[in-house]
Structure 1
């Protein structure tokens, strides 16, 4: 059986504890029971059937007390690129259930702002009522950021600077794309920001993750090994410089690997420490991108459980295909395999095997990005902690950072 929440828990909330654990040593995710419940509590397709976000402020008009509802109705999206467009489409799916609107989209490029306006209209928002501006400063004094969610969807190197700027302007609820920061050192600086920060790790909220956890619990089996592969063909984008800048190319460990590490830590009930890692360059017709091709990180978890995580940005088996799977192997011959959505129809599935014979199969629709955004909005509304807070983001980056070190040593 998986360890109980009490057996898995150790201090991870205080800053000194997190700083001590930023090295190679093992660490435990804080409050795993709460985190696991959060995964299961978000229904497929987002927050379907939930009541609209409501106001329940104190009589004096100040912020609500512990356990009271809070008004979170407007969203400011920082960024207008491809991923920001995906976020806007997801907010459109949550628009009626959560009663939300898009207050503003901030992006310096006029063409991206124009595209976002079209996306807003297609998603059912009143695009004319949303402000589309080139700089966050243009919103200073014009929006009540105290009751607004700021969604940071920009290149990783800009995460902290824009989150800090929004916080200084009064934002108390921030969602930041994974990975949390450009470096582990910068990630710790998020602890000094006022308000609540959630790292957008959508696979924590995936229907596949939740179903795999339920299958493992039902089997009563003890995992001893886990393998994940998240691969996609990034060669066309990388050859055009997407996500790069002079002197900077995103390492393969920063693209898909944060998803894989997060899923493993959740599935196995403890944060692993890195025991091995390797990486390879991406070779393109016009040059080589160092550390950008493919690689793997191996983790050791509590109880001697090992997990191995491989990612290729050269495509699945070097073909132009996307492939995201996770498989947990158990000591009694049971095996649970999850296939995450990788096509526009969002089809996914979970299969359960015992001694190589399939004993169960679950077909799923896995809109994990919508589920994750809805989960954060719900947590903000209820003033409850989420499984994807700053401490979570730091722990993932600690693993990625150690992976960098071991991969460099292996070259």
Structure 2
């Protein structure tokens, strides 16, 4: 395998690192201050001016819509393997991906509309999303059922003439708190009598459609993630044109797999970036603090942790790059084991390294004087988002068992995974 990034990617890495140094890191405090000021005025759900100011700069620098490959509407889009090291750099600061129009859930939603929407859907919703003019949300999880098994989802999508009537309650609808959020992708049941995986469909629902109520924001370890937000949303007799249905009735699971593959690996890329930053902050802290007569960095327990953190990051990065390579060359379906593995490994790895970094910072580590507490809350959430660890482990185990099935009394020869 060739582990060297291409000259194109190296040039973009250098350009992105320069942008981060000049525009992102220096504005972290301003981003937090703007949100605090909006909250003090009584409304945290106002887009920050700093991000809107930086978006044109990112676009002018050629750092825009990098996540979307093979789309004539976004010719700047990269392959998964090319995008991986750039997404990692963006992941070092939570608000950075939005500056480059590469933030969730918009990335996954744009990929979904690009792959499965009609040309009219693309003109109406994808184009303004690609321009960064609007934002979006993905409504799948429900409070009344265990949504880790998506066949449990009860939201009703019923055909009535040239329209679909939608009724249901969703939560953890990330992005629905943003006043720029103009479109939802909603997953629900179109035919409860169909096969277990043919009951569900996905449909585009305008955020301002009559019958939609955003009930409340849900906090994550006390963080409300304003102005993005994770909202509980009620849909009561919401009507949308039948043409808003994506791909066709009963194709929801097919779309979900196509959508969640890239989304999962993007999360993992960003997790590696945050783990790198946590390790960097940990080392700087340990090098500058003295306890019991010597620098904390000279204490063996911290040397062990730093060494282990470096190993964990490198392992996760290599696995992520392999998954990206498999997605590009063999497709998401063939790469499903690699995608499951990295979704298990990367958030868990990042949680552990951030936890060590918090410990190294003492009381400061759990405060908002450092980015570690917020980073931990986000990374811990990723062990649930886009499928909990347990579901990915179960899927991976089934694939592994299948490689060693008895065939006519003999053990089937293992299939060598691509790499």
Report the TM-score range of the alignment, normalised by the length of the smaller protein: 0.3 to 0.5
**Structure of greater relative contact order (alpha carbons < 8 Å, 6+ residues apart):** 1
Q: Higher strand share goes to which structure?
A: 1
Q: Higher helix share goes to which structure?
A: 2
TM-score of the pair, normalised by structure 1:
0.32
Q: Considering only CA atoms, is the larger Rg found in Structure 1 or Structure 2?
A: 2
TM-score of the pair, normalised by structure 2:
0.32
